[in-house]
Amino acid sequence: MPKTSSILEKQLTEKIAVSDISSFLLSHGIIIAQPAVDLNGADLLALMEVKDGAKFARIQCKGRTLADPKSENTVSIKKSYVTGTFTLLLNVYYAYNSTEHLFCFFAYDIKGRPDLWKITDSEYRLTLSGKSFEEKLDLFRFTESRVKALKEIIRDSNVGKEFHYVFGKGKSAMPVIKAAGHASSP
């Protein structure tokens, strides 16, 4: 059973990651919305504009800390989340040299890199090592080219396929079904 302090540390790290990632996205012209609940891995929704039928990407934010070169940490994502516009933004704080690193993984990056993302029955798992994470994940740094790719993913998204749930009430009127028949007896 995890210690209470490690659970609280993880929750704090996740909140800091969401805040840092939100600021980063906003500074690059991507509008964010934070749903009250996490649906299909969406800690944030990333939009290019706010209007009826707006297209979006589902962003999952993760924050991890690595203390020194010998330390390790893992990131797990449910396999069912990794579809369509799903994007993982991973904020890594490396305490050894007090640096922060932001990485961006699109669904195809996770599915297409079994050398990085180990697959279990229900999730993808990435292991981070203080000694090698910078080099291993360099391709996935959230740079201008990845920001442009995220914007394209949003523009090309299929809103109808992103969420499969409808919440709320509705009323509907259906016409009365009329039936006619004919019977005969022998």
* Distance in angstroms (rounded) separating the CA atoms of residues 63 and 89: 9
Q: What is the CATH number of domain 4-162?
A: 3.40.1350.10
* Domain residue spans of the chain: 4-162
* CA end-to-end distance (rounded Å), the chain: 77
More confident residue, 165 or 122: 122
pLDDT digits (tens, 9 = 90+) for 58-108: 999 999 999 999 999 999 999 999 999 999 999 999 999 999 999 999 999
pLDDT digits (tens, 9 = 90+) for 95-127: 999 999 999 999 999 999 999 999 999 999 999
**What phi-psi label fits residue 168: left (phi over 0), alpha (psi between -120 and 50 degrees) or beta?**
left
* Distance in angstroms (rounded) separating the CA atoms of residues 24 and 155: 19
